[in-house]
Structure 1
Amino acid sequence: MKHNILYSFRRCPYAIRARWALINTNQVVELREVDLKNKPHELIQISKKATVPVLKTSLNKVIDESLDIMVWSIERSNMHALFGNNKNLKEIFNLIETNDQVFKYHLDRFKYASRFNLEESETHRAAGMKILVSLNNRLKEFSSKGKPLFLVDAKETLADWAIWPFVRQFRIADIKKFDQNQEIQFLRNWLSYFFTHEKYPLVMKKNEPWRKQNKPLIFGQ
């Protein structure tokens, strides 16, 4: 059987959300963990960007954007409820765009301040927190109505799946401060849903970097 192939990196939030979507939509792939300092020729050959994640389907289609991989997996599994409805589809993608274009910018300059400008670290942390508080307030509103803690219409959608790995990254930058921050208590509970999910250990499992001679590592079974 010819499998779909996913080039991935365990800690990359883009790769995490791709793996999360694949495993939660029951898509089976051959997982190839990439050593970012020694990228395999096979990855470079199929993707000019050569940045993870990259999915090569069994039909030789190459998808090298994480969000596109997520959409592909959801459509393939016919789990269209994750796109919400016509009323809130735009809202879902607006939240993801803010995460990818704005929050990620500040996240990098806070978490990896030594690579950018240490003196501006707190400025970027505050900017990131402002976005997290806005997400928290969405969840707080649903909680006050006794509804589940999800970002759009209190229903689990693509927005939740696409954003949580980046919130995880923000938390890692200062775990103690994040976990004690009462300003984002609903967001912390939301994040805990993913941390305690039965699929989380599978998605975050450590794997050795892929080599051509390796036995295929099947992910999603």
Structure 2
Amino acid sequence: MRPILYSFRRCPYAMRARLAILSAGIEVELREILLRDKPQEMLAASPKGTVPVLIVGDQVIDESRDIMDWALAQNDPEGLLDMPPQAQDWIAAVEGPFKSALDRYKYATRYAGADPMAERDTAAQILQRIEAQLQNTPWLYGDQPSFADLATITFVRQYANVDRAWFDVQDWPGVRGWLERFLSSDRFAAIMVKSPKWETLAIPVVFP
């Protein structure tokens, strides 16, 4: 039996889980859901109701970072886990203060008193931390992507897409080039193939 992955195509958390599964070369049954119509099978496995959710036998993994760790523990042919210690600090910055600012920038009406422009600037300051190194290397820590790239770049994509005209004129050629290399890559194309909404009687969709 293949593992089952409940996913939503545009969710940055689900995207990074699919990136790790793709790199590991693990076949899963992909169940694409609608967030407004979550299947009872997913909610029974993970009552918190967020994607991604990976079911491996009797094991349920419902945090994207844990799914990435699980996939690459099975197989890491690209050596994604080979990264310097400071990579964990970058991942923590994106998962924490960057994502918090991103949410208040993109969804300001959901947060009482949020100033979207101030939050945009907070996130921009975090991106500036990697600008210099991305002017010297195509990926965060060298010529090839690492776990740190794949664990964070989907959130940078979401940030850029809030106001792409603004993002594209900022003085961060390193960051813009990094994002563009990802968006034009075969790996991005592979994880963004459109799948029909999962139905109980549908023919299983296999990913990758």
TMscore range, shorter length = over 0.9
Distance 2:112 2:124 in 1: 18
Structure 1 runs (4+) greater than 3 angstroms displaced: none
What is the CA distance between 1:195 and its match in structure 2? Answer: 0.7
In the alignment, which residue of structure 2 is the partner of 1:77?
75
Gaps of 5+ in 2: none
Which has the higher mean CA deviation after the structures are superposed, 201-210 or 149-158? Answer: 149-158
In the alignment, which residue of structure 2 is the partner of 1:179?
168
**TM-score normalised by length of structure 2:** 0.93
1:37 match: secondary structure: coil
Contact kept in structure 2, 1:151 and 1:159, CA below 8 Å: yes
Which has the higher mean CA deviation after the structures are superposed, 41-50 or 159-168? Answer: 41-50
Which has the higher mean CA deviation after the structures are superposed, 68-77 or 100-109? Answer: 68-77
Q: Among residues 161, 171, 187, which one is paired with 2:150 in the alignment?
A: 161
Contact kept in structure 1, 2:105 and 2:116, CA below 8 Å: yes
Gaps of 5+ in 1: none
In the alignment, which residue of structure 2 is the partner of 1:114?
109
What is the CA distance between 1:216 and its match in structure 2? Answer: 0.3
> What aligned pairs does 1:58-73 form with structure 2 within 5 A after superposition?
59-73=57-71
In the alignment, which residue of structure 1 is the partner of 2:141?
152
What is the CA distance between 1:75 and its match in structure 2? Answer: 1.5
What is the CA distance between 1:80 and its match in structure 2? Answer: 7.5
Over aligned residues, Cα RMSD in angstroms? 1.7
- Which structure shows the bigger proportion of residues in helix conformation? 1
Distance 1:136 1:117 in 2: 32
In the alignment, which residue of structure 2 is the partner of 1:6?
5
| Amino acid aligned to 2:17 | A
Distance 1:192 1:155 in 2: 14
Q: Deviations over 1:73-107 (max 9, x none)?
A: 1111144832225xx2x322221111111100000
| Amino acid aligned to 1:206 | K
> What aligned pairs does 1:23-38 form with structure 2 within 5 A after superposition?
23-38=22-37
Distance 1:78 1:206 in 2: 26
Do the aligned partners of residues 188 and 114 (structure 1) sit closer, same or farther apart at CA in structure 2, a change above 3 Å counting?
same
| Amino acid aligned to 1:21 | A
2:17 match: secondary structure: helix
1:199 match: secondary structure: helix
What is the CA distance between 1:113 and its match in structure 2? Answer: 1.7
